[in-house]
Structure 1
Amino acid sequence: MDMPAPEPLRRNSTAGSDALFARALKVMPGGSTRAASFFDPHPPYAAGGAGARITDVDGNVYLDFSNNFFSQIHGHAHPEIVAAIIGQVKSGTSFPLPTETEVLLAEEICGRSPALEAIRFANSGTEGVMAAIKAARAFTGRPAIAKIEGAYHGSYDHVEISLDGAPANWGTAGAPARIAYARGTPDAVVADTVVVPFDDAEACRRILEANADRLAAVLLDVQPSRVGMIPASQAFVDTLRTVTRELGILLIVDEVVTYRLSYGGAHPLWDLQPDLVALGKVIGGGMPIGAVAGRRDVMSVFDSRGRKPDVAQGGTFTANPLTMIAGLTALRLLDRAAIARINALGDRLRAGIAAQAAACGVPVQVTGLGSFFRIHLTDAPITGYRSAFPSDETKRRVATLHRTLLDQGFLVTPNVSGTLSTPMTDADIDAFIQAIGQILPTL
């Protein structure tokens, strides 16, 4: 029996956000600068944040599970991070010279995993991935890369291939088609990007062997959000590592999102020794950042001492001291106890939503490890991009769930995924679970 939708609990007005969006339409294409954060009719406009909550320009308060797309692991305006940034501002915001803070942050990150022998900073996760790919090409002398179907690795032509395939064009499961994402993508970019299915070890081996002489690297996210936010099996990861070593292909692990899974990042959880790791998000303490780290011999392609480097990498604001001190402070706060606590909260959230769904008889499953979650409005097994691909009806229901959660004061990403932040409490998680339980029967 249909039930009425729950009444909005906190979102009482949108007038201020409506007015700002009308102004934005006059000066920005579509009224937005960030495609990933846009949803119809438009998102609310943030006025400020504190801890696990955001307040919008209309005074509505949201418990923030988006965390600026998984980057704000300590929530908003953490006092120690704020104090560190203010202290640095008084001394300068950026210089044409290196600073001690970049050495300190590099030491902090490399000290957390023996696989990260050296590191270079960038200004976004996209840049970190780009630098890793350029390093792999320089080191191997090969032009092409391989990536998993549906996986997101930033806004870079090669890694956008096969980002949004659909049944009409995605080819066979064992040999996914190479599909350009942005209109105008050069044919050469498509040709130099090989696509492999997620968690199919034998198909992956076959495709890599067929393209081995051209492949510089395989790009792997061990829990790709757009592929369903499901963890890769140990067998798949082991096969990738074995095959890439056999064929002289570098293995790049994209931990821009998943670095928060453990103290040393995501790769230790799979006992994985990557050649390179792309980083971003939580290592910047809420400031723009990216990085590439890994084997010292591979990273030497960036070395410019006394010669032209094999790969020139940098930028005006790379390793700026504001980002470096924010990231250093954030990582020092993100000790093993903090990670264990938010991972336990993630377990509580996933189990609680599953229990609510079972109680009301709505087919739902919740994927994700540690402090991650994604809600799927189906009980069919989620094994990869194709099984996670929603029908038009499922898209409608997901959009309704997202919108209703927003009306009740909970901010998740448009595909109803999210992460936990250290300011969150058991009570916050339980309130979210309760709201999900109220909404599911109405979808």
Structure 2
Amino acid sequence: MSGWTKLPQTVTLSEEIAQLESNMSHWPNESSVSKQLYDRALEVMPGGITRNQPWQEPFPIYAARGEGAYVFDVDGTKRLDLLNNFASLVHGHAHPEVVEKVRERVGLGTAFTLPTEAEILLAETLTRRVERFEWVRFSNSGSEAVMCAIKAARALTGRPKLVKLEGAYHGSYDFAEVSLDSNPENWGNEPRSVGFSAGVPQGILNDVIVIPFNDVETAERIIRASREDIAAILIDTNPSYLGFAPISPAFAEMVRRVSRDIGALLILDEVITFRLHVGGAQSLYGIEPDLTCLAKIIGGGLPIGAVAGPRDVMKVFDHRQGKPLLPWSGTFTGNPVSTVAGSVSLELLTKEMIDHIGRLGAHLRDELSKVMEKTGFPGQVTGVGSMFKICGHQRPITDYRSAYHNPSEAKTLRLLQGQLVRESYHVSSAGLGFLSTPMSLDDIDGFIQATERAIHALEPELQG
């Protein structure tokens, strides 16, 4: 075990209570184990991290273990995990049935150059849940799934351009990242194609058309202006960067109708929203996509991605008549550990479980809104089902621009999030949260009470 930092031993309930009472001293204490680990990480990784989203000022909190709805950090602090690895742990941490099947599978081998029954079982599980899922093609992440779907649309249509929503997140792919974080200085009167990272080629920006969410007239006009060149329209029914604002029925009807009119594919990103209904958000909102991108909960907490759809579209991957239009593969694609974990996780995610976390989500949003009104906190909480987002402003949110935080509003949100971490509740720095099935009403009420305490503790800074 040389080179590893010694972690706290498992503690009793009374010891956990004592730890909770002293949590405030653990982070961001300069003498904490998390700080020691971060200092080591700075020597071997850029900025000391390998993922940007979990970053926490002034240094990240390092996890030791997870159990159900809770995560324990390396300093022994127990927090309610309201983030669940950005929506991938719908059953929380270390669900016994998932752990049992994964242990059994690992003992038989983790990856092969040969296919396994496990990938068939997960594909069968998915096709049973959604009628339009006739064939499934696996990948290793949500980013890969989106990349795969975009390439499939280009292969089938012979066209280059992609239409996407302003401010919608679809993973780490240049085309999908366009206008992800545009701002008032560069977004234009109507959405412009703005690169997310430095060095995005102009050719990529030229091939991505950005439309405003839920603005039917403007979006349809922009799409039809390039109708001959569009391969696909990529949408999300509840974009996370937009506070999970729901797609309007009129907008959903428009993108489906127009995509058919112009001969383009409609791609639905369900990487996050598949948790909203047994049949995903497409069943909840009555949308019929040509391709659906999946990840997160379909892997049971392990890396995975997938594209699913009707056979007449998914034939783009079929190799049986020679080289397919899209040869898609990967060393770990469809690996048996992820697919076994995913099958178990989805079988456990029944309608009753989805309803349970949906009720908890509604309760959280309702009660947290009351707290914000009572305390005069200049923010709001939005969301749907088991997903929520705390915002640092009170504007009605319908699209990216109404959701956008100016520097002052972003600071308000960061202050609240940091205080919630000190209160032993884990939410993202962007205010995002995703509930898990082990959570109880008491867990949510505890979070609501902690948020009220956090707001009061921040009053001097917020008023300043």
Q: What's the counterpart of residue 89 of structure 1?
A: 106
* Matched residue SS, 1:39: coil
Paired-residue identity, %: 48
Q: Equivalent of 1:206, from 201, 221, 232?
A: 221
- Paired residues of 1:8 and 1:407 also in contact (CA < 8 A): no
* Structure 1 residue 306 displacement after superposition: 4.0
* Matched residue SS, 1:346: helix
Q: What's the counterpart of residue 352 of structure 1?
A: 367
- Paired residues of 1:149 and 1:176 also in contact (CA < 8 A): yes
* Matched residue SS, 1:27: coil
Task: For 1:97 and 1:357, locate their aligned partners in 2 and report how far apart those are by CA, in whole Å.
Answer: 55
* Structure 1 residue 232 displacement after superposition: 1.1
Q: Moved runs in structure 1, 4+ residues, more than 3 A? A: none
Task: For 1:183 and 1:120, locate their aligned partners in 2 and report how far apart those are by CA, in whole Å.
Answer: 32
Q: What's the counterpart of residue 115 of structure 1?
A: 132
* Matched residue SS, 1:375: strand
1:197 aligns with 2:212: yes
- Paired residues of 1:9 and 1:409 also in contact (CA < 8 A): no
Size of the aligned set, in residue pairs, is: 435
1:218 aligns with 2:219: no
* Structure 1 residue 435 displacement after superposition: 1.1
- Paired residues of 1:12 and 1:60 also in contact (CA < 8 A): no
Task: For 1:61 and 1:241, locate their aligned partners in 2 and report how far apart those are by CA, in whole Å.
Answer: 46
* Structure 1 residue 8 displacement after superposition: 7.6
Task: For 2:438 and 2:329, locate their aligned partners in 1 and report how far apart those are by CA, in whole Å.
Answer: 34
* Matched residue SS, 2:23: coil
How do residues 147-186 of structure 1 correspond to structure 2 at under 5 angstroms? 147-172=164-189, 175-186=190-201
1:278 aligns with 2:293: yes
1:430 aligns with 2:430: no
* Matched residue SS, 1:240: helix
* Structure 1 residue 218 displacement after superposition: 0.6
Task: For 1:438 and 1:385, locate their aligned partners in 2 and report how far apart those are by CA, in whole Å.
Answer: 30
Equivalent residue letter for 2:106: V
Q: What's the counterpart of residue 7 of structure 2?
A: none
- Paired residues of 1:222 and 1:232 also in contact (CA < 8 A): yes
* Structure 1 residue 90 displacement after superposition: 1.2
Q: What's the counterpart of residue 14 of structure 2?
A: none
Structure 1's unaligned 5+ residue stretches are 1-6
TM-score scaled by length of structure 1? 0.96
- Paired residues of 1:8 and 1:408 also in contact (CA < 8 A): no
Q: What's the counterpart of residue 6 of structure 2?
A: none
Residue deviations 1:228-267 (CA, integer Å, cap 9, x gap): 2211111111111111111111100000011000000111
Q: What's the counterpart of residue 240 of structure 1?
A: 255
Q: What's the counterpart of residue 55 of structure 2?
A: 38
Q: What's the counterpart of residue 13 of structure 2?
A: none
Task: Give the CA RMSD over aligned residues.
Answer: 1.2
Structure 2's unaligned 5+ residue stretches are 1-19
Residue deviations 1:126-176 (CA, integer Å, cap 9, x gap): 00001101111111111110100011100001011101111111001xx20
Q: Equivalent of 1:13, from 16, 26, 50?
A: 26
How do residues 33-432 of structure 1 correspond to structure 2 at under 5 angstroms? 33-172=50-189, 175-432=190-447
RCO higher in structure (CA 8 A, sep ≥6): 1
* Structure 1 residue 411 displacement after superposition: 0.3
Equivalent residue letter for 1:360: T
- Paired residues of 1:293 and 1:299 also in contact (CA < 8 A): yes
Task: For 2:408 and 2:421, locate their aligned partners in 1 and report how far apart those are by CA, in whole Å.
Answer: 20
Residue deviations 1:169-213 (CA, integer Å, cap 9, x gap): 1001xx201101111111111111110011101111001100111
Judge which range, 375-384 or 320-329, deviates more.
375-384
Alpha carbons of 1:357 and 1:8: their partners in 2 closer, same or farther (altered >3 Å)? Answer: farther
* Structure 1 residue 338 displacement after superposition: 0.5
Task: For 1:306 and 1:239, locate their aligned partners in 2 and report how far apart those are by CA, in whole Å.
Answer: 36
Residue deviations 1:73-95 (CA, integer Å, cap 9, x gap): 00001000000000001111111
Task: For 1:234 and 1:306, locate their aligned partners in 2 and report how far apart those are by CA, in whole Å.
Answer: 40
Equivalent residue letter for 1:12: S
